Structure 1
Amino acid sequence: MITSYKNYVSGFLVAGTLLFGSCQKESFVETNVNPEGLTSVPPASQFLNATVSIHDRDFEAYYDFYRRIMPWMQYSTGVTGNGQNFTQVYDNFGQRYNALYTTVGNALSDVERLVANLPAEEQPRYVHMIRIARVLKAYYAFYVSDVHGSIPYTEAFQARYGGTQTPKYDTQATLFATLDTELKEAITTLKTPQTAPQVALGTNDQYYGGNTQQWVKAANALRLKIAMRLSKRDPAKLKTIALEVLASPASDLMGSNADSWVFTTPAGFTGDANSNFFPEVLRASKPLVDFMWETQDPRNDAFFTPNGYSQANIDLLIANRQLPAGTRESTRRYVGGFTSPDQSQAAQNIQRFYTARTVRVNNATTTIDTLSFIQPRLFQASYAVNGTVGTGRNYFPVINYADFCLMRAELAATGITTESAKTWYDTGVTASLDWYDSVAQGAQVANYTPMTAAEKAAYLAQPKVAFNQAKALDLIASQQYIHFLRQPSEGWATWKRTGYPNATSTLVLPPLVSNGAVLTIPRRVPLGIPSPTEPNYENRKAAYDEMAKEPGFGRDLQDATGRVWWDKL
């Protein structure tokens, strides 16, 4: 089972809690401007507001994931393929930055401020709540810095409490170290019995229901996640942190999918306009579909829709004299679109793959498409299939057990730990299969058949899946890439960290060719050009000037093919 608040409260209460979180958005803006408005807000409510703000990001889903990262990483394409300059289009890219400074960071900082305003005798009851809020804030600061580099953190979120309105930027090196220190302190405190009974977050914590031991596991997984970003920049520091984390008692580390850090919501949570545009922009990609079909990956029908050539539709085409009599349904109905613009725009491919047939039956037009899409309910549970609105659940993973296992496999394969790379690889792949099996059923993915134990075992025995120490990093990264379909930003980070998948790896990602030239894939967001009239101009300019000294930074601030500090050239 997948862990989230659903393990702690009933579906009715969950739905009510989320409704509360959504209704608080407008008033929350007021409290950001006017701290006096916070005096009657319980600290736990601001934790909930932050959580909802992290995941209720329809513009980020649409622009950052669907339109940018997923096509760049060859998870998906546009309906007719990728445009000739699609790796050079960045409009509206980088939505996470504003979320940190307009809602998430402020709300989580408010938790501590609100506790500080309580009577002195009450404050000791909130020690654990404060640490849990710090863990979540550390995650989101890391998530933002991951693609932006230097950001305000140490001096941020304090302006309305008398702090500076012009916070200095923390370099990424400093930020990562700060976050690791904060996470260590949070883990220690969460494990320490308190003299006063602790006020639990309860249903305001829709990851773990306020379970402090689960937050210890999440914080340790986050320490490892941040440290993995140092694999090229500071491998010695990575090793130190990894060995420290993995020396923790087993009870402090993720041990099954039940420990996964995942936000789960009712179907309507993703019913916004940009999410509703999802199916029209996410054609399944040929490299991913081909690999998963060849290896008989049990996640196939969880990830992709079958094309339109069912026997029923074939019979319609036969009756309409568009196909010869006797045509039978293919054993393979999962077909991905070309990722290179030149291939998708080749005349023979347009005719064969991108020209859908149509038939009219009872005054209704049926479109029969050759290519597959990404399963819409995997990203938007409310999506209507055949006119029926979905009533399943949405799943927003932060760090789940499969991710944690595959990190351990990578650490073992690269000699950082002495654990068995094969054991953690097999465990991680199996955990991913199990997780997506639960997600597909919980999201009510159409045309999905639950996995069997035999399918999972057969998959692990496939020649391109079975663990082989000689190409361990290739195999591990390929499986990380597949697992991160639901977290494309992490798939992007895996590629930047490891160089896998690539044109010669087990899972082949071919060069993206446009007008005969190989396109360069972006590696960060365009940073924007500081204006002398903006309040924090001096600090922002100083931070960017320092970042620009790094080799590989790029031509200028707007060059998204440049690198941030951890993504060492």
Structure 2
Amino acid sequence: MLATTLLMTGCKDQAFVDINTDPDALTEVPPANQLLNAIINVHDRDFEAFYDNYQRIMPWMQYSTGLTGNGQNFTQVYDNFANRYGGLYTGVGNAVVDMEKLIEKLPAEEQLRYVHIIRMGRIVKAYYAFYVSDIYGSIPYTEAFQARYGGTLTPKYDTQQALFATLDQELKEAITVLKTTPSAPQITVGNLDQYFGGDAKKWVKGANALRLKIAMRMAKVDATKMRSIVQEVLASPADDLMSSNADGWVFVAPAAFNNGGNWSPAGLRASKPLVDFMWDTQDPRIDAFFTKNNYSQANIDLLIAANPRQLPVGTKEPARRYVGGFTSPDQSVNQQNVQRFYTPRILVTNGNRTSIDTLSYIQPRLFQAAYSVNGTVGTGRNYFPVITYADFCFMRAELSAQGITTENAKNWYEAGVTSSLDWYDILAKDAVLPEYTPMTEAEKAAYLAHPKVAFNAAKALDLIASQEYIHFLRQPTEGWATWKRTGFPNASSTLALPNLVSNGATLTVPRRAPLGIPAPTEPNYTNRKAAYDEMAKLPGFGTDPQDATGRVWWDRP
């Protein structure tokens, strides 16, 4: 792990900035290092963590709230939002293209040793292009990343429909090559591949899962194409598909990786809808997701002994110490709620003030393993999921529940729930979450049997989407996509998310990134404006490019 940390730091500090401005510097960088740079740039994004996830998507999706609840206009604030866009063009995409250009400079016989790593890089680039387009719509891709190699400085924009088709073909080609025995021994990738350690078979599984995910985005706009891709992927040999958590596409990094910057999740309140559901169903992930409030018996005794006394003699620690905050702004400012939930008791001991808080927080080390708890810096590991096995199972459960496949929806649903429980158990222990109790088989079985969790074909999509939503706490952008794709969770679903009401009016939750208005002085103004004008013709696009309540191509009513 130490070697990996040093390798990451060295690559980032020595070469990456230079090669984005000086193509000649590429000759000084081993080609395989650029795969590592691409992977790091997918995840080393603290502005995205803070502004996109903590401040926007998580509150919008009712995973969390601010300290005193959500602001009256919190769904209408987009400052610094959508940081992923720049990462494609200044990091991920460029690194992959640079790697291929470096390989092209090698002798022909040496190039034969790089056919696998080239496809690994292309899979990373395809994923990140999908990730960006997912909330932006049309983006430059087929003509992008080539400027310093004689390509255009003004690339055209690929429509989302065309891009998804291109990405699917690139993934298919990569899978084919990775499954074919190469004509020469391949270079040893090792720690330069922080996803799969150079294991071509696992890259095939990841690429197939990504094909499935992209296809499912097309369900409402091109059902025929979606079905074709789904059938093709699921007809693959079993060895080409994810079959356990060990196959998950996840970036695992030491605590130092995101220690500092904007990574801190401090102040993220747990949300009442999610906490209530998990408490009611006795979800064994609850202590991995949330902290207990401050009403331990020790603190209660101090409040009893305080002068003046703050609690009656004989007060006992409550059975439930997981308490979420209200997600609807009007509920947060209700005076009864303010008094009961948002007004902590204050202990003064030897001149030190301690706030005894009623509400829980998101477990901070779930998002930042180095987070300091009671003065102790965390030493665990960070998990950054791309596509987990649970995600793959839930996709197959959805497809079956919707009649797109003839697989057993119940089996895939239960496999998804179980693998999610197991995955968070691994993550919680590896991240060294405080006060975490490892799950037992009895707890997992009881959870699957709970009436709000047990599979029911009559409300299959509701149940599947609700469990996907819970699983995506560590990947809130996918929770957002699940809500847009399926309409779940909602105010009347199994896991109920209440309407967000501010000053008596129901707020509209954003559905895409606000698009900046192009200026005529921009070098690529013509292509950008043409792309936006074409997107404006899509159903539900919104009043203008900056209307984040509008929709991209795949997101239809």
Q: TM-score, normalised by structure 1?
A: 0.97
Find the counterpart in structure 1 of residue 138 from structure 2. 150
**Residue 500 (str. 1) matches residue 484 (str. 2):** no
Correspondent of 1:122 among 102, 107, 110 = 110
Find the counterpart in structure 2 of residue 170 from structure 1. 158
Correspondent of 2:292 among 301, 306, 319 = 306
Note the C-alpha offset of 1:234.
Answer: 1.4
Matches within 5 A, 1:473-512: 473-512=461-500
Find the counterpart in structure 2 of residue 111 from structure 1. 99
Find the counterpart in structure 2 of residue 383 from structure 1. 371
Correspondent of 2:440 among 435, 444, 452 = 452
Note the C-alpha offset of 1:363.
Answer: 2.8
Note the C-alpha offset of 1:14.
Answer: 2.4
Find the counterpart in structure 2 of residue 20 from structure 1. 10
Give distance in 2, aligned partners of 1:200 and 1:164: 34
Give distance in 2, aligned partners of 1:111 and 1:138: 15
Is the 8 Å Cα contact of residues 5 and 257 (structure 2) preserved in structure 1?
A: no
Describe the superposition over 1:403-434 as per-residue Cα deviations: whole angstroms up to 9, x where unpaired. 00000000011011100000000001000000
Correspondent of 2:503 among 504, 509, 515 = 515
**Residue 559 (str. 1) matches residue 523 (str. 2):** no
Matches within 5 A, 1:36-185: 36-185=24-173
Correspondent of 2:535 among 541, 547, 551 = 547
Is the 8 Å Cα contact of residues 522 and 560 (structure 1) preserved in structure 2?
A: yes
Find the counterpart in structure 2 of residue 7 from structure 1. none
Note the C-alpha offset of 1:20.
Answer: 2.3
Is the 8 Å Cα contact of residues 353 and 371 (structure 1) preserved in structure 2?
A: yes
Give distance in 2, aligned partners of 1:98 and 1:496: 24
Is the 8 Å Cα contact of residues 129 and 200 (structure 1) preserved in structure 2?
A: no
SS state of the match for residue 252, structure 2?
strand
Find the counterpart in structure 1 of residue 193 from structure 2. 205
Give distance in 1, aligned partners of 2:343 and 2:419: 38
Find the counterpart in structure 1 of residue 246 from structure 2. 258
Give distance in 1, aligned partners of 2:113 and 2:401: 44
Tell me the amino acid that sits aligned with residue 385 of structure 2.
P
Tell me the amino acid that sits aligned with residue 13 of structure 1.
A
Note the C-alpha offset of 1:22.
Answer: 3.6
Tell me the amino acid that sits aligned with residue 468 of structure 2.
Q
Give distance in 2, aligned partners of 1:22 and 1:485: 29
Tell me the amino acid that sits aligned with residue 335 of structure 2.
A
Is the 8 Å Cα contact of residues 207 and 263 (structure 1) preserved in structure 2?
A: yes
Note the C-alpha offset of 1:119.
Answer: 1.2
Is the 8 Å Cα contact of residues 38 and 121 (structure 2) preserved in structure 1?
A: no
Correspondent of 1:292 among 256, 261, 278 = 278
Tell me the amino acid that sits aligned with residue 316 of structure 2.
R
**Residue 317 (str. 1) matches residue 303 (str. 2):** yes
Tell me the amino acid that sits aligned with residue 286 of structure 2.
N
Change (3 A) 1:22 1:110: closer
Describe the superposition over 1:166-225 as per-residue Cα deviations: whole angstroms up to 9, x where unpaired. 000000000000000000000000000011111132110001111111100000000001
Is the 8 Å Cα contact of residues 405 and 427 (structure 1) preserved in structure 2?
A: yes
Describe the superposition over 1:498-521 as per-residue Cα deviations: whole angstroms up to 9, x where unpaired. 000000100000000000000000
Find the counterpart in structure 1 of residue 266 from structure 2. 279
Give distance in 1, aligned partners of 2:514 and 2:260: 26
Correspondent of 1:219 among 207, 212, 224 = 207
Tell me the amino acid that sits aligned with residue 244 of structure 2.
S
Note the C-alpha offset of 1:40.
Answer: 1.9
Is the 8 Å Cα contact of residues 21 and 52 (structure 1) preserved in structure 2?
A: no
Tell me the amino acid that sits aligned with residue 73 of structure 2.
N
Give distance in 2, aligned partners of 1:555 and 1:200: 52
Give distance in 2, aligned partners of 1:259 and 1:72: 31
Give distance in 2, aligned partners of 1:71 and 1:361: 35
**Residue 33 (str. 1) matches residue 21 (str. 2):** yes
SS state of the match for residue 62, structure 2?
coil
SS state of the match for residue 549, structure 2?
coil
Find the counterpart in structure 2 of residue 6 from structure 1. none
Q: TM-score, normalised by structure 2?
A: 0.99
Correspondent of 1:360 among 334, 348, 354 = 348
SS state of the match for residue 39, structure 1?
helix
Find the counterpart in structure 2 of residue 267 from structure 1. 255
Find the counterpart in structure 2 of residue 4 from structure 1. none
Tell me the amino acid that sits aligned with residue 428 of structure 2.
A
Find the counterpart in structure 2 of residue 247 from structure 1. 235
Is the 8 Å Cα contact of residues 402 and 429 (structure 1) preserved in structure 2?
A: yes
Note the C-alpha offset of 1:390.
Answer: 0.2
SS state of the match for residue 175, structure 1?
helix
Give distance in 1, aligned partners of 2:457 and 2:552: 31
Deviates more, 1:327-336 or 1:31-40: 31-40
Note the C-alpha offset of 1:313.
Answer: 0.4
SS state of the match for residue 20, structure 2?
helix
Percent identity of paired positions between Structure 1 and Structure 2:
72
SS state of the match for residue 32, structure 2?
helix
Superposition CA RMSD, Å? 0.8
Describe the superposition over 1:267-309 as per-residue Cα deviations: whole angstroms up to 9, x where unpaired. 0111123113x212x1000000000000000000000000000
Give distance in 1, aligned partners of 2:440 and 2:504: 44
Give distance in 1, aligned partners of 2:449 and 2:138: 44
